[in-house]
Structure formats: structure tokens, C-alpha cells
A and B are shown apart, each in its own frame.
Chain A
């Protein structure tokens, strides 16, 4: 996703000199091409994230479209008040990009685990929160947020995530993408969990279930209509995210369903337990500890749907 993002940004910067990239001394082997090709559109703010956001806001208020780039928590939580007061309150055209969303930097330590960022940034007025599901969505999201007037949080994984979409989908911020139509259960995924959700959907379909799969790449503003349809047209809704189950995609969907009148499907949030990891592990390993690999997700889903559906095999 990181690669798809920077490639798209390079192209956009080529055709629009307002597009700038401000990095917090991170992005080795990623940002060099941008820096070399567009020196007047590039800034390394150094290891100083509060100033990085402030700078970006100052540039944006002077007419630029500014992407900041850092790792998970550094470019978001470290400078949260700058994002709130300076970027969001002034509706500045600042796009906060975090790489390593979730457990992408698993064995680097808890400091590098971005597990509450979506919940926190989602609470800010004027903010748009986007977590693309695969490299294709990352490319389309990068273009879409350039066109968006106002602040945005773009949460990316690392590199090497699988491509899930087989064709280029229509991409609109705030509009979920349906990868599979279905009428029994709905899986709603954000970020890199889209690939796992796609595999799980395949397994469930193999058991005779009609599975709807949605990529909820925009967590704020949430596609409320898609959530309501899922909860009224199918019999169970699952959310899948590499983020705490508190306040992220699952929280956002729960907010919609809690206020939904009339009969609707129940919800199960699948995500990270809201606690600090205590065991060292790479992304794959830690995800399995949280039940976020294909097997773990199936283990969570299976008993729930066994109660509601007669399954083949």
C-alpha cells in the first residue's frame, strides 16, 4: 500500500504543483523519488511531529495540498492537538498519512503498534478517515483525498499487502465497495483486513452461505446506508479491522446499529483486544494471537453462524 500511495502521489505532484509532501524524517527507500523530482514540493521536517503538522497547516493555509508522512502513532497521537486545532479547526488541506497501521511494525514494539489511531482521529470534527483495503484502493484513495477539500487521515499498511480487487472498483470517499453480493451474512472490512475477509468469505461461501463482503475504506464519514442495508438485508454483521475493537470501524458500525430502530441483524466486532501486546511477534504472528488470521476469524465466526444457519460441511 505504501508503494501504491507514493507512486500515486508522485504522479499527482507531477501534474499539480500544489501537492506537497512533508515527512517526519521517515520513509527511507520510499520518498526519495518524490524528493528528487519535486524538491520544491518536499520538506523533511526532522524528528519533530508537532512542527511537522504545524508546518503542513501553514503551507495548506497558503494554498498547498500537503501530505504529512510518518509511522502510525508518531504523526497522529504525538501531534494530536496540532491536528485538532490547527488542521481540523481551520479546515486546512492537510492529509495526515500514517504507514504501519495496526501491527505492521509488529516486532518493533508497542510504541510502533497503531491500534487506537482510527478511534481517536475519527472523533475530530471536519476529519475524514480512510483506511484502504489493498494497493488498488490505496492508489484510488490517494487521488480521492487530493481532490477532497479539507483534512484527512490516510491510514496505510506497509508494503507487500496482496491485491484483493480483481478489477478497478469505482471509488468514492464515504461509499463502501461491495466485493461480493450476499444475503445471509455481511463481512465489513477496513484496511489490510480486506484480504482476510475475502478469504473468509470464500470459505463461508463454500459452506453454502451467501456472503456479502464490503470494503469500508472510509471510516469517517461512514457509509451509514451500506451498514443499514447490511443489517436489514442479511442476518449477521461482522466487522474486521486491524485496530482495537473499541472505537474504530467496529465502534462506528455499532453506533449506527445501536440507534437503528426496528429489527436488524446483530453485530460482532472482530479486531484487536484493547490491550498492549506483551509478546514479541511480527505482524502475522501477533495477528494470529488476536484471532485476526483467516483461521482465527473463522473460529470466531463459525459458532455464531452455526446457531443461525444450517451449514454444509
Chain B
């Protein structure tokens, strides 16, 4: 999709990403539908209007790099890569299937367009930081986007990279935190409190923007006018709803793990997403 995509185009793409994710996760009976649904609009805006990538040349040296550090949001990531044209949509049928290449956590091997495999949390940002440092030193204008979860902010490795990136003024590094307020066992606030999250990033020397992670126009507004502050790495805290788009999944811990049942439940979920 070109940069000329309209907000409605991006909303339509987000609906497709949600539908793919629901089908993939339901058919493969895997977890993390809630995490995929909360990330769909962010991925749609990135692939639809922000990322400078070329599906015909996945290894193009000057491409923007996107790292999905919340590797459990695999279904929606593969869907986004396929919708962007890096691989045929039919390949989504390989998701978590014996003999396929689309593992249940984001995997690069055999999957064009995926920069980095993730699944253990707290790995994406340090690697993205090394990429951003290299681009800076070589005066290249490609950028690095790292998508993280809120629960992932518990990992100490991220804070090592957060210190480093600010010290080195990596304003070509962008993290988007999918702040859906729910982690694996419980709500973030009841597990390890992150608030005041924006203040933490400001104190660490980052440019910070808080926005509604389902508001396509707001996401575009920020992501198309980076950096937030010159000379500082960018933290976009995207307030999202886990399970967004399917009423009975929204805001429920249960849907971190439970797949939608094939048949009637899946059909109702798809109908809600398509009507949204």
C-alpha cells in the first residue's frame, strides 16, 4: 500500500489483519488472539503508510526495520507481512501447522519481511538499538521500529537499551508500546505497575507521545512526523484494548490464551470485526 492510503484504507487493512488473526488462531487452536487484536491498527498504519519497505526486495539495504518484539503477536504479524506483499496470503495456512514455517511466535527463518525472530520478551529493543546506532553512524536515513508489549516492559534488558539509546541520541529509533493493560496472568496494574510510564521514558531522555492505539489518524499523525523530539529516541505509548474488535474478548485476561472456537464463535467474531 502506498503512502497515499486513506485513513479508511488503513481501517480496512486493520479489519483484514483482525480477520486473518481470528481464522489462523482459531484453526490452529493457539493462544494470543487478544494480543493480536490489540496490535492490528498499529501494524496496519505502519505497513499501510509509514514503513519504507519493498516487498520485492525484503533485504533492501535502506529499508526501514520493523521488529515485533512481542513475538506472541505472531498471527497478526504474519498477516501484516502477507498483506504487504512479502508472501502470498495462502501461506498464512502454515501458521502453527506441522511442516510449515510460520511458528506460533514471530519467526524470521523462511518468512520474507520478518526482520527478527522473537518469543522470549525483551530481545527486540537491544537489537533494534544496534541497528539504529549503525544507521546513525553511517548517516543512513532508514529507521527502526520496535513493537513491544506492556508486560514486556518488566524485562530488564529493555531498560539497558532505553538508557543506551537516549545516551546516543538515537532519534531514528521508535518503540510503540501496545499498552493493552493486560499481561499473561493478570492486569498490568496488579502484576508489576508501570505507571507513570510516560514519565519514566521522559526521565530516561526519550521523546514521548501517548495516544489511542486504535485511532488510525492519531497513529498516522505521530508516526508520519517523527522524531517526536530531535535528538531523542521515540516512545509511543499506544493505549489499546486487549481483544479489540470482538466485544466478548475486549479487556479479558482469558483471551490471552483461549482461541476462538471454530464454527459459530469464530463466525460471530468475524462478523463483529467486519462490521466495525
Contacts and interface: CB of A to CB of B under 8 A. Distances in A.
Contacts of B160: 46, 48, 50-51
Nearest to B168: A43
B127 interface: yes
A31 to B, nearest CB: 18
Contacts of A203: none
B131 A58 contact: yes
A46 B164 contact: yes
Interface residues of B, number: 30
Interface string B124-156: 011111111111010000001000000000001
B244 interface: no
A46 B134 CA distance: 17
A62 B131 contact: yes
A213 interface: no
B122 A57 contact: no
Interface in B84-143: 108-109, 115-120, 122-123, 125-135, 137
A59 B161 contact: no
Contacts of B122: 50
Looking at chain B's contact residues, the main secondary structure is helix
Contact of B137 (A40, A50, A54, A90): A40
Contacts of A85: 117-120, 123
A53 B126 contact: yes
B131 A82 contact: no
Nearest to A58: B130
A89 B125 CA distance: 17
Nearest to B108: A90
Contact of B164 (A45, A62, A63, A82): A45
A116 interface: no
A35 interface: no
Nearest to A62: B134
A90 B116 contact: yes
B197 interface: no
B157 interface: yes
A58 B123 contact: no
Contacts of A54: 123, 125-127, 129-130, 157, 161
Contacts of B157: 50-51, 54, 82
Nearest to A91: B109
B175 to A, nearest CB: 14
A59 B138 CA distance: 11
Contacts, number: 86
B164 A59 contact: no
Most buried by A among B126, B129, B161: B126
Given A51-B126, A51-B160, A82-B123, A58 B133 contact: yes
Contacts of B133: 43, 55, 58-59
Most buried by B among A46, A59, A60: A59
A22 B131 CA distance: 14
Contacts of A178: none
A296 B273 CA distance: 74
B270 to A, nearest CB: 34
A179 interface: no
Most buried by B among A54, A82, A89: A54
A113 interface: no
A64 B144 CA distance: 17
A58 B132 contact: yes
A312 B89 CA distance: 77
Given A46-B163, A54-B157, A85-B117, A61 B126 contact: no
A56 interface: yes
A85 B132 CA distance: 20
A285 B259 CA distance: 61
Contact of B130 (A40, A62, A89): A62
Interface string B158-179: 0011011000000000000000
A33 interface: no
**Which 9 residue pairs of A and B lie closest in terms of their CB atoms, listed nearest first?**
A54-B126, A58-B130, A51-B160, A48-B160, A55-B130, A50-B157, A62-B134, A58-B131, A58-B127
Interface of A: 40, 43, 45-46, 48, 50-51, 53-64, 81-82, 85-86, 89-90
24 contacts: A40-B137, A46-B160, A46-B164, A48-B163, A51-B129, A51-B160, A54-B157, A55-B130, A55-B161, A55-B164, A57-B127, A59-B130, A60-B130, A61-B130, A61-B131, A62-B131, A62-B135, A63-B61, A64-B134, A85-B123, A86-B127, A89-B109, A90-B116, A90-B117
